[in-house]
Homo-oligomer: A and B are copies of this chain.
Amino acid sequence: MAETTWHRRHILSLETFTPAEYETIVQTAESFRQVLSRRTKKVPALQGQVVTNLFFEPSTRTRSSFELAAKRLSADTLNFAPGTSSLSKGETILDTAKTYLAMGTDLMVIRHQEAGVPLAIACELDRLGANVGVLNAGDGQHAHPSQALLDLFTLCSVLDAEAPSIELLKRKKIVIVGDILHSRVARSNLWSLSACGAIVHLVAPPTLLPMQFVAPFQNAIVGTHQLRQVQLHWQLEPALAGADFVMALRLQQERMTQHLLPSLREYHQQFGITRDRLSLCHSAVKLLHPGPTNRGVEISSDVMDDPALSLVSHQVTSGVAVRMALLYLMGTYHASST
């Protein structure tokens, strides 16, 4: 592992991340990806440390990815399950977090259905002078930084498997299609991809992509001079011309009952990713999806299953390496504060 310096105790949102930080994450993840290609896929980096998964919003998939990342760093893991917990006995979320802090948690991975909970917990732990890092594993519609970072690492790895780097993303055209308005994945990807110089095109029906959505991203300048490049589309096909990557978002079926979308069938007809539509893109186009997928809704089954087109499995694999990198980097900060 190369020497790296890392200056964040918590990873809550990507708004203020610099290109240098993204590059550090990509390089650290790449070194862990190499570890994971060995037969013995463990390193002793977090031996004796405790990583607690506080998933107030249940998720098997993301929790497993973090749990495996922690175990491969030789950490001990604790899993908090809200169903059988003190929460149902009237305990506040902050008190739950403080209980796991007091037990000896070093790094806390938090998912909650409400935006801002990981930040609130991090602030409270800081106020208490706790030397513990908080990683936001998804909060409401706000942010899902580890998903965006694994997407970033996936893109860099695809562009150059031998030497992935954020430099490769400059002026690449990335189309994100789906329920932009409610997607924490889209928001976090917007921050990371635009900061690395990619040109991001957002596509959704008008009910899911209001004009004012993009303003905060466009007005947030990267470093001293670089403008973030984000464009909006209400139709998919015109947006696809020359696209290097297409990222389909997961469609949450409760949007139907909110009358934001007509039907799954019509959504697929207008916004589903099919082989025909991918032919409108750059010839080497690749598809991303954060999973779990609704086959035949966001993407057609044949695209999903074509390894020449789909990066879905690649993303999952990248997820473990990137989460190892994030826990490792937070762990170096944690150790330097001890």
Residues of chain A having any CB pair with chain B under 8 Å: 36, 38-42, 47-50, 58-61, 64-65, 67-68, 71-72, 76, 78, 80-81, 83-86, 89-92, 95-96, 98-104, 250, 253, 291-295, 313-317, 319-320, 335, 338
How many copies are assembled?
A: 3
Residues of chain B lying within 8 A (CB to CB) of residue A103: 64-65, 68, 316-317, 319-320
> Nearest B residue to A63 by beta-carbon distance?
B84
B61/A72 in contact, CB under 8 A: no
B99/A84 in contact, CB under 8 A: no
A104/B41 in contact, CB under 8 A: yes
Question: Can you report 28 A-B residue pairs in the complex whose CB atoms are below 8 A from each other?
Answer: A39-B335, A41-B48, A41-B49, A42-B76, A58-B83, A59-B84, A61-B99, A68-B78, A71-B76, A72-B76, A83-B84, A86-B291, A86-B292, A89-B292, A90-B253, A91-B292, A92-B295, A95-B292, A95-B295, A99-B292, A99-B316, A101-B313, A102-B315, A102-B317, A103-B317, A103-B319, A104-B317, A104-B320
A105 to chain B, nearest CB (A): 9
Instruction: State A41–B335 Cα separation when bound (angstroms).
Output: 13
Residues of chain B lying within 8 A (CB to CB) of residue A72: 76
Residues of chain B lying within 8 A (CB to CB) of residue A59: 84
A76/B68 in contact, CB under 8 A: yes
B50/A39 in contact, CB under 8 A: no
Residues of chain B lying within 8 A (CB to CB) of residue A89: 250, 292
Residues of chain B lying within 8 A (CB to CB) of residue A80: 60, 64
A85/B99 in contact, CB under 8 A: no
Residues of chain B lying within 8 A (CB to CB) of residue A338: 39
Instruction: State A338–B36 Cα separation when bound (angstroms).
Output: 13
Instruction: State A292–B58 Cα separation when bound (angstroms).
Output: 21
A316/B64 in contact, CB under 8 A: no
A155 to chain B, nearest CB (A): 16
Instruction: State A250–B90 Cα separation when bound (angstroms).
Output: 10
A45 to chain B, nearest CB (A): 12
Instruction: State A289–B102 Cα separation when bound (angstroms).
Output: 14
Residues of chain B lying within 8 A (CB to CB) of residue A317: 102-104
Instruction: State A301–B89 Cα separation when bound (angstroms).
Output: 17
